[in-house]
Structure 1
Amino acid sequence: MHGTETMPVGRVRDGALDLLKWLALLCMVLDHLRYVGLSLDGLYVPGRLAFPWFCLAIAANLQRVANAPVNGRWRYLGWLLLFSLISEVPYRMFIADADTLNVLPTLALGLLVARGWQQKAIFDRGLALIAVTVAAVFSTQLMFGFFGVLLPLAMLLVFSRPWYFSVVPGLVCVAANQWQMLLNSANGVALSGLAMCLIAPLAGLVLLRHGKNASPPAMRRWAYALYPLHFLLLLVVRQITI
């Protein structure tokens, strides 16, 4: 890739985007395997790809449906909010000492912020302002906190800019992942996780650009159910292994 090249703008082919979503889901499952009672701390590193790639998928979807009917855009938010509620119980069953909500409220707020920037209508901008305020006030209750809510917007802004601008969402991703704790740990897994956060946006953008010929199964609305279901399945695995 050369400095004069830009990241993909406009409609992204379904194959590349679906591949990104499947890989993000796989990285999330790998990350959560650390909680089944086995010594799998190294999975923390690929797990750092999951959240930024889900944020990138939101940004890519916003690019693709920028001129879609308003009802379609609200449906996207509605599914996120619905499964935010559905997923909270399985999430807390699996991670009993969780000190934040599940990840979907963060993604829903991030969607509102990114869409407010994109649409520029007063109503959308107002919702984005409310979402930013909620993220600031309730940062400690949100998974990935305030900066996690900003990450979809940071991803969206990189689409029409040269590849090296991906360092911006990379830094936002690092900030969302408690970088102070990672630096203080100063072990190989923590530092590798920090590096993975930094390069995750660029890796995802390269995948979207060069994965055009991919043809994985399409991720449709049923895929939202995979989030709460994977907690229940891993809970079963933990009961078997301990």
Structure 2
Amino acid sequence: MHATETMPVGRVRDGALDLLKWLALLSMVLDHLRYVGLSLDGLYVPGRLAFPWFCLAIAANLHRVRHVAVSGQWRYLGWLLLFSLISEVPYRLFIEDADTLNVLPTLALGLLVARGWQQKAAVDRGLALIALAIGAVFSTQLMFGFFGVLLPWAMLLVFSRPWYFSMLPGLVCVAANQWQILLDNGTPLALMGLAACLIAPLAGLLLLRQAKNATPPAMRRWAYALYPAHFLLLLLVRTIIA
């Protein structure tokens, strides 16, 4: 890929975007398999791809519909907020020592920030500022913290820009993943996790560009239910193993 080439600037094909979402879901499940009671610490590395790829999916959706009606984006936000509430109990049942909310509130705030940057209306800009304030004040209560709230916006910035701009969301992703703890840890697993965070945005963007002919099952609204459902399924697995 030459330095003058840019990431996709037109409509992202649904097939490529659905493939990205399925891979993000797979990465998330692999990451959470570490909590079923088996020695699966190595899954931490592929698990670092899940959150940035979900953020990239948000950015790709915003980029695709930037010149059309935005009512669908409000529905998108509504579904995120609804399943934020639905998922909290299954999340805390499975992650017993959880010290943050589940990931969906972070994604919802990130959607508002990215959308506020993209849209010019005062209401969008106002909601983005409110989302930023919530992210800053409640950073410790949000999964991936304040930088996690910024990641969909950072992903959106890369569209229509040269590929090397993916280093920006890569650095934001590293910041969202407790980089100081991982760096101080210094183990090969921790360092590979940092590397995965750094390259995840570029890898996802390349997938959106190259997988134009992909035909995975479409992820529709029912897919939101997979988030709380996978916690319950893995909780059942852990109970059986125990």
Determine if the TM-score, normalized by the shorter chain, exceeds 0.5: yes
Q: Which residue of 2 aligns with 1:193?
A: 193
The letter of the residue matching 2:81 is L
Q: Which residue of 1 aligns with 2:45?
A: 45
- Mapping of residues 66-81 of structure 1, within 5 Å: 66-81=66-81
Question: Using the alignment, how far apart are the partners of 1:91 and 1:9 within structure 2?
Answer: 36
Q: Which residue of 2 aligns with 1:121?
A: 121
Q: Which residue of 2 aligns with 1:161?
A: 161
Q: Which residue of 1 aligns with 2:175?
A: 175
The letter of the residue matching 1:227 is Y
Quote the offset at 1:69 in angstroms: 2.3
Question: Using the alignment, how far apart are the partners of 2:49 and 2:220 within structure 1?
Answer: 21
**How many percent of aligned residue pairs carry the same amino acid?**
84
Q: Which residue of 2 aligns with 1:144?
A: 144
Question: Using the alignment, how far apart are the partners of 1:69 and 1:88 within structure 2?
Answer: 31
Q: Which residue of 1 aligns with 2:233?
A: 233
Q: Is 1:184 aligned with 2:184?
A: yes
- Mapping of residues 191-230 of structure 1, within 5 Å: 191-230=191-230
Q: Give SS of 1:109's match.
A: helix
Question: Using the alignment, how far apart are the partners of 1:173 and 1:89 within structure 2?
Answer: 26
The farther-off stretch of 206-215 and 71-80 is: 71-80
Q: Which residue of 2 aligns with 1:4?
A: 4
Q: Which residue of 2 aligns with 1:60?
A: 60
Question: Using the alignment, how far apart are the partners of 2:68 and 2:222 within structure 1?
Answer: 21
Question: Using the alignment, how far apart are the partners of 2:67 and 2:239 within structure 1?
Answer: 47
Quote the offset at 1:120 in angstroms: 1.6
CA RMSD for the aligned pairs? 0.6
Quote the offset at 1:67 in angstroms: 2.8
Aligned length: 242
Quote the offset at 1:89 in angstroms: 0.2
Structure 1, unaligned stretches of length 5 or more?
none
Question: Using the alignment, how far apart are the partners of 2:146 and 2:41 within structure 1?
Answer: 26
The letter of the residue matching 1:77 is L
Q: Which residue of 1 aligns with 2:28?
A: 28
> Post-superposition, which runs of at least 4 consecutive aligned residues in structure 1 deviate over 6 A?
none
Quote the offset at 1:110 in angstroms: 0.1
| TM-score when normalising by structure 1 | 0.99
Structure 2, unaligned stretches of length 5 or more?
none
The letter of the residue matching 2:14 is D
Question: Using the alignment, how far apart are the partners of 1:161 and 1:70 within structure 2?
Answer: 23
